[in-house]
A = this chain, B = another copy of it.
Amino acid sequence: MTTPTVHTSIRLPEPTLHRLPWYLAYVKIMQSQGVEYISSTQIAKAINVDASQIAKDLSFVNISGKTRVGYEVNSLVIVLEQFLGFNSRHRAIVYGVGRLGAALMHDSGLAQYGLEIVAGFDVRSMKQDNINGIPLYHVDKFCQKRQELDANIGILTVPVEKAQECADYMIANGIKAIWNFTPYRLQAPKHIVIQDTSIYAHLAVMFNRLNNLREEEK
């Protein structure tokens, strides 16, 4: 099996980047069951996404299917993981070690997806000096430790009213990408990557849809 070259520097459309992990998750399950080849039609049927959409999304990654048999499963897993950055190591720090910050430091799942949390920072002095073996520091040491640890991703898990000020501080001290778990809409220079994961916004969507359902049932 030859591993194809992967060009991860293409700027992919966000919807494609959201769908590729679905394909990966499904194809990995097929891989664990010993399946060797899979077609976009099979993936489509299993996960309820249009086959032509899947073929289009997969055309961004450097892999081509064989007529009638489809994509080689092992290659597809490798290419998707490389393409999504899941088998690289991206060093990140957690900023704000409350419940959510601590939970993320405990989540070993993140490492499987290429995110290595190398430190946690908080404005409060903490009783313990590590969580799950990952060192904790006071924010005063942020500048020095970030450089030493060579981390360029900041995971923002502070109270919402501190979000912008803490983001500014991280950016001033060399952070290039912020994974924002607060519901605050951050402002940042253009060359900074901001990724919002406001789980509370997702709750709002779910509650609204549930209410619609109840109304329909009346």
Minimum C-beta distance from A108 to chain B (A): 7
Minimum C-beta distance from A110 to chain B (A): 8
A residues 1-35 near B (Cβ < 8 Å) are 8-12, 14, 17-18, 20-22, 24-26, 28-29, 32
Q: Count A interface residues, CB 8 Å.
A: 73
Closest chain B residue, CB of each to CB of A85: B207
A40 on interface, CB distance cutoff 8 Å: no
Contact of A103 among B103, B198, B202 (CB under 8 A): B103
A residues 73-128 near B (Cβ < 8 Å) are 84-86, 88, 90, 99-100, 102-104, 106-110, 113-115
A193 on interface, CB distance cutoff 8 Å: yes
Q: Which residues of A contact B (CB under 8 A)?
A: 8-12, 14, 17-18, 20-22, 24-26, 28-29, 32, 47-49, 84-86, 88, 90, 99-100, 102-104, 106-110, 113-115, 152-153, 160-161, 176-177, 179, 182-185, 187, 191, 193, 195-215
A-B contact pairs, 28 of them (CB 8 A): A11-B208, A17-B205, A21-B204, A22-B183, A22-B201, A25-B182, A25-B183, A29-B160, A47-B185, A48-B185, A48-B187, A84-B204, A84-B207, A85-B203, A85-B204, A85-B208, A100-B109, A103-B103, A103-B104, A114-B203, A114-B207, A153-B210, A179-B202, A193-B209, A193-B210, A195-B205, A195-B206, A195-B209
